[in-house]
Each structure stands twice: as structure tokens, then as C-alpha cells.
Structure 1
Amino acid sequence: MVCDQIDKLEFTGDDHHPYYTSPILEAACQNAHKVVDEILCRSPKAIQSTDKSGYDIIQLAVIHRSERIYNLIYDIGERKNLYKTIEDSSKNNILHLAGRLAPSGKLNKRRGAALQLQRELQWREEVKKVIFPTYITRDNIFLETPAMVFTREHENLVKDGEQWLKTTAESCSISAGLIITIVFAAAITVPGGSNQDTGIPLFTQDIAFSVFAVSDAISFFASSTALLMFLSILTSRFAEKDFLRSLPKRLLIGICALLLSAISMMIAFSSTLFIVFGHQKPWLLVPICGSSLIPISFFVVLPLPLIKDLFQSTYISEFGPRRRGKRARFDPDNIRLFFGK
């Protein structure tokens, strides 16, 4: 291990701080929290390390979106209040740094421009909780506030996110509209027909008809919900803050409702075939049911990655007490930060 090799080197002073500078800074950029934890255990003063631009481990963690490093050293700032006011040579505080566009490698970990922008907004909101309130609107030497830096850096990403959401919503709206048309027509022309005198369907006592009626109703209401969600996305103003929770939640609800409506439609279709052929040609039920499982499996599997990403990105934070529940090996009380030196 690198730390073991460094410990074998000859040095002067009370620790190996100079030898750990390059490894700990690189680890901060690469989100290698175990490496940072190990180095701080062996040399607490390594937290003072800075790169050629004067950025230390905390600033690099924000610039490179290293959430594991950020969570690891959270206790230091929370207890010592030392990086709430830290600034670089251009008077950029860490909220200015959070306003910069993340490296492409970190952005590409999220699916679609909208989720990429959501992650950037989550970083900004997290860092905003840490710094002093007066620093939220504080200018740098270029007379830019953190909000101005974020808007300038993410202008293209906002446009790409808007286009991605519109394209997705338009495609899904067409599918939802088709399902509404199909299941509404199926509800009017019930399988087996109706009594000419009373208008009551002939197969109301059949269990398969009850399954058809329930699944058809679920499909209709779910597809209607999905269509409304997608229309609300298309008519949104697409402001920066809307990408944080509002738009992703609408998209998640819309896709889940569309998935439910498609599955319910297939169940209603299979129930209709059972009513028609169940008594006269029961052998046809096996290939019919087997064939219906194919589109149902596709309905479930294909949108599942997007649903998973939307849910995790919107409801499972990379920050917060749950992520910080596992304590670091180093003792935060032994860490001393000397910013600006």
C-alpha cells in the first residue's frame, strides 16, 4: 500500500505530511474516501495539503463532486466551523465552487441531462446549508454571486435538460393517449355483448369479466394520470429550481402510471380472450397467456432502469445523516485546518 511505503521513508519533523500531499489530493479528486481516511489516520496534518491552484481537500471535493469525501469530512466542518468561510484567491467560497459545472465524468454517471442538472442542484443545496448565510450572496472578485456562477455554468445543461424532458414526455404522451383510446373503447364494447332489454353485460357473473372490468378501469385511470403528468411537464416553465424535485417527480409518476396502465391493458385483453375462448377452446389459453407475458415483461424491464434512476436521484440523497452514519476512522477532534496559509 502507498501509505506503508511512505511510512518507510526517511523524513524530518513530526509526521509525513509532505509525502501525503499528492496522494490525498488525488484521492479527493477521485472520490477515494478510504484512501483519504487512511491518510488522515496516519497523518492528520495532511488535511492542510493544497494543489497548485491553492485548493485544499475540501474545495477539491466540491469541485470534483466527490460526495464520499464530502461526507467523510463533514464532521470536521460541523464541529470546527472552519470551512464555512473558506475562499480561494478569487474570493470564491465553496458555494461558488459548487456552482461550477461538474467534470464530464461525474455528469455522465446520471441518465439524461435533466438528472445531471438535478445532481448539480443537489450539490448546491447541500453546500448552501454549510456556509454562513451571508456568504450565499457574497460576490467574488468578478462581482459574481454563487447563483450567478451556477446559472452561467449550467446554461447549456438547462437547455439540454429541457429538451430531454420534452422529448421523453412527448413520446410517453402518445403512448398514454393510445392506451386511453383502446381501454375506453373496450369498456363501451364489453366482451360478449349486453342484454338488449336491460343493457347489462351478459357475462357479469363470470370471474373473468370482473377481472376485465377492474383491469380496464385501472388502465384507463392510470393512463389518464400519466397523460396529465406528461402534459404538466410540457407546459412547465423549466426554471432551474424545477429540475431539483418538481420535474423529476412528475416524470417518475408519469412513467410509473404509464407502466401500470400498459400492464393492466394486457390483463384486460387476456381476460377478454378467456371469456371468448375459455369454454369452447380451452387449449388456446396456454399460448395466449404465454404470449401475453412477453409484452408484459418488456413493459416492466425496459423502463425499469429509468424508474430506478429517477427514484434514487429524487428520494435517496447522497448526503444527510444516513450517508454520514458510518464514522470515519480518524478522529475529527485531532484535525486542524489552517486555511489561507
Structure 2
Amino acid sequence: MAASSQTLPPKPDFSKYLPLYRTILAANWEEALIFFNQDAATIRSPLNNYLETALHIAAKAGNALFMEKLVALLLDHELSPRDDYGSTPLHIAARLGNIEVAHILVRRNSNLLYLHNNYGLFPIHYAVRNHRKSKDAILYFLGVTRDDEYGQPNPYAGPTGVSLLVALIEYKFYDLALQLVVSYPDLGRHNSLTGDMSALDAIVLSDCSIINKHTLNFWQSFIFYCVSKAESTTSPPIFHLISLLQWLARKNRDIVNKMALHHQVVKLLKCLCDQLKTLDETQVISLTTRHALFEATSLDIWPFILNIAEAYPMSVYFVNNMGQNILHVAVMNRSENVFNLVCGTSVLMAYLPDNRDFYKNNTLHFAAKLAPLHKLNLVSGAALQMQRELQWFKEVKKITPSKYLSSRNEDEKTPSMVFTEEHKELKEAGEKWMKDTATSCTIAAALIVTVVFAAAITVPGGNSGENGLPIFTNHNAFTIFGISNAASLFTSATSLLVFLCILTSRYAEEDFLYALPKRLIIGLFTLILSIIFMMIAFSATVYLVFGQNRRGVLIIVALFACLPVTSFVLLQFPLFVALVSSTYGRGIFDQRGIPQLLY
């Protein structure tokens, strides 16, 4: 009872060191020296609850002159005090990327480079993660941290080295990571200090710079494709084309950086996967390769799948904790590149579509599920999103064995039932989007019909009192007016009827695949034509009435007539192109250009 009543010793009171703490942060050496002279212990004692000493705080302040004077007052073995996390002042200097402060400490005591903190991390690990993202700081620590220092641990070996490699990958220093892997090949055969991360995992999880077509706009994709092809060709006749493409790439700094990272990470990936060839299945699984494989599949990083499969072919038959293979995951996450890769490989197509997960879901069940939101948002408009989902369902249905087309999962639902249930809200949103678009365009088409019809019966200049014929009948401009006005009437009337047809459609699921998009394409195309013809007719009328023998009037009118046409085209043309591309384009299920797995 007496023992339980004993009180814990009081915590140290660090408030008296607060003025010194502020002085060190301000790098005021004169005032700091007064404190040190009054109490010599303060230069070595912890100054706060985190057990940081004057050296730790000076490393945070980052003033090289202050640190130089402070280090001069201490012995070599006194330069390695530990804070609450076991970090030395050199850890802090490395984390801040301060080379000058780090050099002062290393010059006095190089053993600081080989002291790890409570997490097993050396200063070089913090240099890679430095707050400045300074590559110079990393290069400095790589240059001074040796792997053969007598009596010192090797920061580049085993899990410690993997942690360093993972950090380089996470911060996208792929060139340095590649140099590290080449120098220390065993790093590809271990996990990091925490045991849950390998270099392959880091590549997948580092917002991977293996370029995906969805991360680039049209021109970036074109430049990247052309430059990549040109660089792989040594034929002299295309030398000028190579120079032109490289010039275009240099003008687009973003694609240049992405291309550089892309080539570096592909080389790194190939190097790491080559090391898997020397491991057995147990060792491969212990490297969390299974996790990296499925993460890469969900992110649609097909080069990763290709390299892993070439290094260890059995990996493509792995299943996750729900019994799903890479085809299931690719379909569920709408990873079209991985899907095309699997479909282009006869060996995989003979086995993977036959598998079901632990809940009796087959491949078509996964196609029936609603796509992840970030995949849906790659297509604008709920109707086009619904179309893309139907395209996926139709494409997966082609490769699904017939015995599974109507099979039920654990919830007693067929793939079609799952599709209808999962896409109910998207279908309603697509119907609303279609009707709203058609309504807006119907109003425009109706207005054009009204205007051009009225213009047809009230021709410019009026009619002759003698024979009732239009006064300007013999003018070429009148002929242009008549033809363009009639064309505008016919196209706008067609557009109006098509949009009315859209409004009265039944909006069944399958209508979103071809019927509704086709009608919208026709309606938009004829509406654009009607506006163009209407502007031509109007311009011809103005010229007939006001611009006889005055070409300046025609030029001014033509310029102003281009405004509504240009505005409408700029606003609606992207939608028109998206509709045509999605409905009649080559599509996303294209196995050309995707290398097959090698066995």
C-alpha cells in the first residue's frame, strides 16, 4: 500500500532554458555565449521536453557561422547527443537539407554518419527526405557516407538500404535510385526496415511516373509518342523529324520532365525485376510483390505487370485476399491497358476468365459493378459515362465463358442484375443530361427554323411589281442567299426533329450504347451546319441591301458573322468530338501497341 502511494518524480522544468532556446534559433552568438558562460552545463544539457540540446536547436536554425562557433566549444564525442527520437544534430541538418551545417559536423566527427536513431534510420535517410527537396544535399551525403568504413554499419545493405532506396523512389529521384540498385543488387531482394515495403511497392505507390495516357493531354501524348518512336529509330532520313519533335518537346517543359522520369523509372523497374529471377516463390511473395502487383493493376500501370510477369511468370496467377486475379481487378478498376495486355496473351486468356472470387463473382460481375469515380470522371457527361460502362460490359462479355454469362454470385445475382442495380443512378443522371442537352438545342434549332423560314418568304430587296420576281434575282449574292437559307432551313429542321426524338426516347440501358449518342451526334452536326448556313445567308442579305460595290461592307459583315459560328463551335465541338470518338472511334479496347507477356 505504501509503495502504491509513492509519487512519480517531478518532470524537469525546462522553462528556464526558453530564453536560450530563442537565442539559438535567432543565431545570436553573443547572447548565447553569455548563457554558456553563466552555466557551462547548458551547452550539453537538454533544453526542452524533446531532449534537444543546443546542437539540435542550432542545426534547426541552420546558421553555419553559429554552428561553427558552437562546435568549437565541444569535443568530438560530444557532437552526437540524442533527442527523444534518438536523432543526432546531423539527422536534423540532413532533414533540413543544410549542407553547410552537415559539413561542419561531419568534418569534426565522421562517425556521426553511421549513427542511427530509434527507427534505425541514418542521416542519409533524412537527407533523401530533406524539406528542401534538394538533390545536392542527397549527393553530398551519398558522397561522404561510405559502405566500407571500418567498424561502422553499412547504411546501404539489407533492409536499411531498401529504406533508403524506397525514399529515393518516393521522392522521384529515380536516377539516384537506379545508381543505388546497380551498386547494390541485393536491394531488390529485401523489404524496408518496417517490413511492409519493397522497392517495387514504392514504384507503384509513388504516383508512378510510368506515363499513363490519361495523365497527358492530346499534344503531350502526340509528342511523347513521336519522340519515343524517333529515339528508338536510327534511320538517317528521319533525322530532321527527330530534331523537330525534340524541339517541340523542349517547348513543353512538363512533357520533357515526364519523359525523363518515365525513362528513368522504366530502367529502374527493369533492373529490380531482373533480380526477382533469382528468387523462389516464397521469397517473391515475402517481398510483398503480390500487393504491388494488384496495386499496379488497379492503377493501370501495365509496364509493371509486364516486367513482373517476365521476371516471375507465376505472379500473374496470384490472387488477392478475396480470391480475385489480375483480370478481375483490372476490370473492376477499368484498367484498360492491363485488360488489353491480358486479352492479348493467349496463355492468360485460357485460365483467368474461368476464375471466380470467394463470393462467386466472375469477370462479368466485376464489369457490371460501377466504375470508380476517378475513372468515371475521365469522360464528361453522365450519358457518355453510361456509354463507357456499357462498352466495358459488352467487351468483357466477349471473353467471359458462356457458362458464366447468367451465373449467380453469392447474393444470387446475375451480371445483368448487378449492372442494372449498380448503374441505376448513373442511368437516371444520363437520361437527365441527355434531355437537358436536347432541350437546349431544340430551342436553338426552333429559333433558327423560324428565322430562316421567315427570310425565305420575305426575300431581300422585295419583289418586282411587274412580274413578282425578286429584284435581286440576277445577282450572284442572291443565289448564295437562296441556297444557304434553304440549307439552313433543312438542317435546322432535321436537327429539331432529331432532338425531339431524343426527348421522346425510352432511355433503356442499351440505348446509351449507340442509339442515343448517334442521335445526339446527328443533332449537333446538323445544328452546327444550320448556324453556318444561316450566317452565310444573313451576310449575303446585308451585302445585297447595303454593300453593292462596297467590298468593305462584305468584309466587316463576314468577320462579325464568324463570331456566333466560332463561339458555338468552340463551346460544342469538344462534346461533338467526344461523342464521335466514344461511339465510332477505335476505342479503349485495343491490343495493338501493348507487348504480350513473354513465356
Q: TM-score by structure 1 length?
A: 0.91
| 1:68 maps to which of 337, 346, 354 | 337
Q: 1:124, CA displacement in angstroms? A: 0.5
Residue 267 of structure 1 corresponds to: 536
Equivalent runs, 1:187-266 vs 2, <5 Å = 187-266=456-535
Q: 1:14, CA displacement in angstroms? A: 7.0
Residue 132 of structure 1 corresponds to: 401
Residue 169 of structure 1 corresponds to: 438
Which residues of structure 2 form unaligned runs of 5+? Answer: 1-267
Q: Check if 1:300 corresponds to 2:561.
A: no
CA deviations on 1:273-324 (whole Å, 9 max, x unpaired) are: 111122254432332222112222112211111001101111124355xx21
Q: Distance in 2 between matches of 1:113 and 1:327?
A: 29
Q: 1:17, CA displacement in angstroms? A: 4.1
| 1:47 maps to which of 307, 316, 322 | 316
SS at match of 1:201: coil
**Maintained 8 Å contact 2:344/2:596:** no
- Cα 1:177–1:272 change in 2 (3 A) is same
RMSD of the TM alignment (CA)?
2.0
Residue 591 of structure 2 corresponds to: 324
Matched residue type, 2:468: G
Moved more, 165-174 or 293-302: 293-302
Q: 1:101, CA displacement in angstroms? A: 0.4
Q: Check if 1:313 corresponds to 2:578.
A: no
| 2:374 maps to which of 102, 105, 109 | 105
SS at match of 2:352: coil
Q: 1:185, CA displacement in angstroms? A: 0.4
Higher RCO, Cα 8 Å, sep 6+: 1
Q: Distance in 2 between matches of 1:316 and 1:27?
A: 27
Q: 1:27, CA displacement in angstroms? A: 1.5
**Maintained 8 Å contact 1:98/1:124:** yes
SS at match of 1:302: helix
Residue 121 of structure 1 corresponds to: 390
Q: Distance in 1 between matches of 2:583 and 2:277?
A: 50
**Maintained 8 Å contact 2:273/2:307:** no
**Maintained 8 Å contact 2:325/2:352:** no
Matched residue type, 1:229: V
Q: TM-score by structure 2 length?
A: 0.53
Q: Distance in 2 between matches of 1:157 and 1:13?
A: 46
- Cα 1:314–1:262 change in 2 (3 A) is same
- Cα 1:6–1:270 change in 2 (3 A) is same
Residue 285 of structure 1 corresponds to: 554
Q: Distance in 1 between matches of 2:552 and 2:276?
A: 80
**Maintained 8 Å contact 2:438/2:499:** yes
**Maintained 8 Å contact 1:169/1:233:** yes
SS at match of 1:73: helix
Q: Distance in 2 between matches of 1:286 and 1:76?
A: 61
**Maintained 8 Å contact 2:345/2:596:** no
Q: 1:72, CA displacement in angstroms? A: 0.9
Q: Check if 1:4 corresponds to 2:271.
A: yes
**Maintained 8 Å contact 1:16/1:43:** no
CA deviations on 1:49-93 (whole Å, 9 max, x unpaired) are: 232322221111000001111111103357752233221111111
Which residues of structure 1 form unaligned runs of 5+? Answer: 335-341
Q: Check if 1:149 corresponds to 2:403.
A: no
SS at match of 1:272: helix
Q: Distance in 2 between matches of 1:327 and 1:208?
A: 56
Matched residue type, 1:105: H
Q: Distance in 2 between matches of 1:167 and 1:14?
A: 56
CA deviations on 1:110-144 (whole Å, 9 max, x unpaired) are: 11111001000000001111112221111112111
**Maintained 8 Å contact 2:277/2:312:** no
- Cα 1:61–1:26 change in 2 (3 A) is same
Matched residue type, 1:191: P
Residue 339 of structure 1 corresponds to: none
- Cα 1:78–1:205 change in 2 (3 A) is farther
**Maintained 8 Å contact 2:294/2:329:** yes
SS at match of 1:196: coil
Matched residue type, 2:411: F
Q: Check if 1:89 corresponds to 2:358.
A: yes
**Maintained 8 Å contact 2:581/2:587:** no
Matched residue type, 1:246: A
Q: Distance in 2 between matches of 1:101 and 1:6?
A: 33
Q: Distance in 1 between matches of 2:404 and 2:586?
A: 24
Matched residue type, 2:495: A
Q: Distance in 2 between matches of 1:80 and 1:167?
A: 42
- Cα 1:317–1:281 change in 2 (3 A) is closer
Q: 1:247, CA displacement in angstroms? A: 0.4
Residue 13 of structure 1 corresponds to: 280
Matched residue type, 2:593: K
Q: 1:16, CA displacement in angstroms? A: 6.8
Q: Distance in 1 between matches of 2:344 and 2:511?
A: 31
- Cα 1:106–1:10 change in 2 (3 A) is closer
Residue 214 of structure 2 corresponds to: none
Matched residue type, 1:330: L
Q: Distance in 2 between matches of 1:4 and 1:292?
A: 61
| 1:158 maps to which of 427, 444, 453 | 427
- Cα 1:91–1:114 change in 2 (3 A) is same
Q: 1:325, CA displacement in angstroms? A: 2.2
Q: 1:197, CA displacement in angstroms? A: 3.4
Q: Distance in 1 between matches of 2:370 and 2:353?
A: 21
